[in-house]
Structure 1
Amino acid sequence: MRAAAQHERRASAAPRRWLADTAGGLPATFWYLWAGLLINRAGAFAMLFLSLYLTAARGASESLAGVVVGAYGAGGAAGVLLGGVLADRWGRRSTLVAAHLATAALMVALALSQQLGVIALLALLVGVTHSMPSPAFVAAIVDVVPEHRRSRAFNLQFWAFNLGMAVASLLAGLLAEASYVALFLVDAAATLATAVLIAWKVPETLAHRSARPPAQPEAARPAGRQPRRPGLHTALADRHFLAFVGLTFVLAVLTMQASTIMPLAMRADGLGPSAYGVVVALGGVLIVLGQLFVPRLIDHHRKAHVLALSTALLAIGFGALAVADDLAFYLGACVVWTVGSMLAAPPNAQINADLAPPALRARYQSVFYLAFPAASFVAPTLGGFSLQQWGNGHWLLVGALGLLAAGGHLLAGPPRERRVAALRQATAAPIEPSLTAREV
């Protein structure tokens, strides 16, 4: 009896230990940010149906709908840069609240607007305000979470983002069947709820007394020229950081094959939209169920090695589609590339945070996030051409690109780690307070 009781206690204690290791030790501010991100993503579904809304409800042609959706994407590229600059100069909380309030107002305006020119302008502005919170969210997380817990925090952030998107996809279909206007209004309400939560519970995390970053990398500054004050150009001149962003861009291009080129390949194999939906749903389910177990798998492994493995898995998964011809094969390949995406999320975010000087965290985040709108343009543009010209050979090219990027992570890892160590040492050294007003 005593042995059985001890076994039962150990069995009940195991889930508690796992939960504490996965989500313990994180400050309350992080959880409010996490909740805000989850609410925002769960309600951010209107723009998923923008092209259908324009063609079905507003009588736009497919080409015009494409232009309006493209305007939304262009606004997103501008928004991440603007959000990064404002988050470093104005503050994380102020940027988050202002961006969400502006998005809520623009969503209401979109719901009520009927002229296509006005809708196009509003879509451009929504693209800006939708993207502004991304660098501020991550910078605030880095501000408040101790370094040894950031991998857990970023893993939970990635999980919340995907869980929210899964909920959004489900709700969007139901609301779109009922009313497109309701789609925009519910999105606005969720965005407003996020703004209220952040304004109520999240304090400003930007410390104006944080360490001043290096003015400009020595290799990028001509001899005899005075160092420039830190700003967005500092991130754009940081070769270690730009190498990392370039590798992340390749990872994003690989990931976006699933939503841009794979549907075309599945149609060519005689598989309909429902089959594509099953593959996408499998990826979402795997992330929601398995992402919380990732930190314990990658702990005590060098980040460059984890990213090399994750990128290689993406390469293998998509490269295998060169011989795919039925749904079962697509599902198996989806498992491989989804595991790669799951492994990549925590170290990707953590390296980005490690490379950023404290006073430029949000600016670095904004440059990092530019990789994703760039990939969303390159993946379908070049991918469609490649698939048309070489057929299944396209997937072999994608696989080769991914394997090259995996090797790039192995080569870039050691010098990047030395750079991070030097930055930590410089940040820990006693220096004068940074300026409260910073140049862009």
Structure 2
Amino acid sequence: MGRWFADTAGGLPATFWYLWAGLLVNRAGAFAMLFLSLYLTAGRGASEALAGVIVGAYGAGGAAGVLLGGVLADRWGRRATLVAAHLVTAALMVVLALSQHLGVIAALALLVGVTHSMPSPAFVAAIVDVVPEHRRSRAFNLQFWAFNLGMAAASLLAGLLAEASYLALFLVDAVATLATAVLIAWKVPETLARRSPTAAPPPAAGVRRPGLHTALTDRNFLVFVGLTFVLAVLTMQTSTIMPLAMRADGLGPSAYGGVVALGGVLIVLGQLFVPRLIDRHRKAHVLAVSTALLAVGFGALALADDLTFYLGACVVWTIGSMLAAPPNAQINADLAAPALRARYQSVFYLAFPAASFVAPTLGGFSLQRWGDGHWLIVGVLGLLAAGGHLLAGPARERRVAALRAAAANPAEPTLTTSR
């Protein structure tokens, strides 16, 4: 047990654990927006169409928030961005709880989407700042575990609070968000290393300084983001298309809830054992295997017609998700120069709101048009992405090696893009 604990959680600095605790409290308390559509229809009398528009505004704000959070975390600082975003979110939650006009609620939902998403790049960039490279895999594994543990707790708390009072739902969310801000302000130092203005020569005439555009023009990185987008589309099947398929197979909401609960239990119980399984293997190979497992798990649903089959497939795709989380986060961190870590994180996180739009939009059409053949399409897409990781892996490794060499010899020009 001692060796397992050391491999899983040992050797990580105190600052990481305060960030980890902040993430756990943040996720466990971030439950109000899970019930936003129900609150709008049942609590504020909005139509389903209007509720969909307001929830969509929250999602659009999230896409803007990750980019804004990345830029601020690299310029302003990780700690400052985290504290400010959580303080503003807590205040917005209180105002949202007390608002009655649907137009005001829509505007607030957009703003909450921005501030809810801003901390994500800063959290990960701060972890990369303080955790040595050889221990980042276990750090990202613990981050993924905390995220899912917090979301599981949030789902349980949200259901209880929503039955008691929607006002309590938003106010408790605000308190948890405020607690996260206090914890970070109290215990987490600024991790962004400030460079002296004379540490690097000014760019040559006509050459732009490294910034968000650097991440958006880095081909190696964008290929990786594209493959992550495919992985996100696969995982989004659970919450978008699978409920429809289960209903077509005569299975009710309780059966769907059982499948989702099984996935959550597997992650909470099994995620801490992942580092020992993957640390000795190349990241591209781990991602190829994990994406292939997702492809097989969802592709197998083409044959599913009872709950037992769905539960078995859930085990397969959940293992794939568990294996993918640490190398996905680590590659994302490795591909960014230190001064651009949060900006790269923000572009990486854009893959998830994009997938949350594409998965239900195209998936619904695919399921209606081809029925169970939809799952074969999903499976083939996943297998192609698994092959993409194998093909892109060597170029990514060369890119990371070049960045490490540049960091070890700062006198040489810094490599910021890969063409």
| TM band (smaller chain) | over 0.9
Question: Aligned residue for 1:186?
Answer: 172
**Aligned mate of 1:173, from 142, 159, 165:** 159
1:213–1:357 CA contact under 8 A, matched in 2: no
- CA deviation string 1:353-383 (max 9, x = no partner): 0000000000000000000000000000000
Question: Aligned residue for 1:220?
Answer: none
CA offset at residue 155 of structure 1? 0.1
1:215–1:228 CA contact under 8 A, matched in 2: no
**Aligned mate of 2:315, from 335, 346, 359:** 335
1:96–1:133 CA contact under 8 A, matched in 2: yes
The answer to whether residue 167 in structure 2 is matched with residue 198 in structure 1 is: no
**3-state DSSP class of the match of 2:293?**
helix
Aligned equivalents of 2:117, 2:82: Cα separation in 1: 10
1:210–1:358 CA contact under 8 A, matched in 2: no
- CA deviation string 1:148-185 (max 9, x = no partner): 00000000000000000000000000000000110000
Aligned equivalents of 1:129, 1:370: Cα separation in 2: 15
1:213–1:358 CA contact under 8 A, matched in 2: no
CA 1:271/1:359 → structure 2, altered by over 3 Å: closer, same or farther?
same
Specify every segment of 5 or more residues in structure 2 that has no aligned partner in the other structure, as ranges.
Answer: 415-419
* Paired AA for residue 114 in structure 2: V
The answer to whether residue 285 in structure 2 is matched with residue 299 in structure 1 is: no
Question: Aligned residue for 1:34?
Answer: 20
Question: Aligned residue for 2:230?
Answer: 250
**3-state DSSP class of the match of 1:93?**
helix
**Aligned mate of 2:334, from 354, 358, 363:** 354
- CA deviation string 1:185-228 (max 9, x = no partner): 00000000000000000000000129999999xxxxxxx98431
Aligned equivalents of 2:201, 2:127: Cα separation in 1: 22
Pair member with larger Rg: 1
Aligned equivalents of 1:85, 1:392: Cα separation in 2: 43
Equivalent runs, 1:109-128 vs 2, <5 Å: 109-128=95-114
* Paired AA for residue 408 in structure 2: A
The answer to whether residue 305 in structure 2 is matched with residue 319 in structure 1 is: no
CA 1:368/1:44 → structure 2, altered by over 3 Å: closer, same or farther?
same
Question: Aligned residue for 2:417?
Answer: none
Equivalent runs, 1:84-123 vs 2, <5 Å: 84-123=70-109
CA offset at residue 299 of structure 1? 1.4
Normalized against structure 1, the TM-score is what? 0.92
The answer to whether residue 272 in structure 2 is matched with residue 286 in structure 1 is: no
Equivalent runs, 1:375-386 vs 2, <5 Å: 375-386=355-366
Aligned equivalents of 1:238, 1:228: Cα separation in 2: 14
Equivalent runs, 1:420-435 vs 2, <5 Å: 420-431=400-411
Aligned equivalents of 1:301, 1:178: Cα separation in 2: 49
**Aligned mate of 1:160, from 146, 150, 155:** 146
- CA deviation string 1:291-319 (max 9, x = no partner): 00000000110000000000000000000
* Paired AA for residue 394 in structure 1: H
Aligned equivalents of 2:352, 2:320: Cα separation in 1: 17
- CA deviation string 1:364-406 (max 9, x = no partner): 0000000000000000000000000000000000000000000
**Aligned mate of 1:265, from 233, 245, 249:** 245
Aligned equivalents of 2:295, 2:175: Cα separation in 1: 40
Aligned equivalents of 2:97, 2:254: Cα separation in 1: 29
Aligned equivalents of 1:227, 1:291: Cα separation in 2: 45
2:406–2:413 CA contact under 8 A, matched in 1: no
CA 1:420/1:191 → structure 2, altered by over 3 Å: closer, same or farther?
same
- Number of residues of Structure 1 aligned to a counterpart in Structure 2: 413
**Aligned mate of 1:345, from 302, 325, 335:** 325
Equivalent runs, 1:219-234 vs 2, <5 Å: 226-234=206-214
Aligned equivalents of 1:48, 1:214: Cα separation in 2: 48
CA 1:225/1:405 → structure 2, altered by over 3 Å: closer, same or farther?
farther
Aligned equivalents of 2:400, 2:192: Cα separation in 1: 21
CA RMSD in angstroms comes to 1.8
Question: Aligned residue for 1:371?
Answer: 351
* Paired AA for residue 10 in structure 2: G
Aligned equivalents of 2:52, 2:167: Cα separation in 1: 20
Identity of aligned residues (%): 89
- CA deviation string 1:49-68 (max 9, x = no partner): 00000000100000000000
**3-state DSSP class of the match of 1:346?**
helix
Spell out structure 1 runs of 4+ moving beyond 4 A: 210-216
Question: Aligned residue for 1:3?
Answer: none
Question: Aligned residue for 2:391?
Answer: 411
Aligned equivalents of 2:273, 2:129: Cα separation in 1: 24
* Paired AA for residue 372 in structure 1: F
Aligned equivalents of 2:140, 2:327: Cα separation in 1: 8
- CA deviation string 1:61-107 (max 9, x = no partner): 00000000000000000000000000000000000000000000000
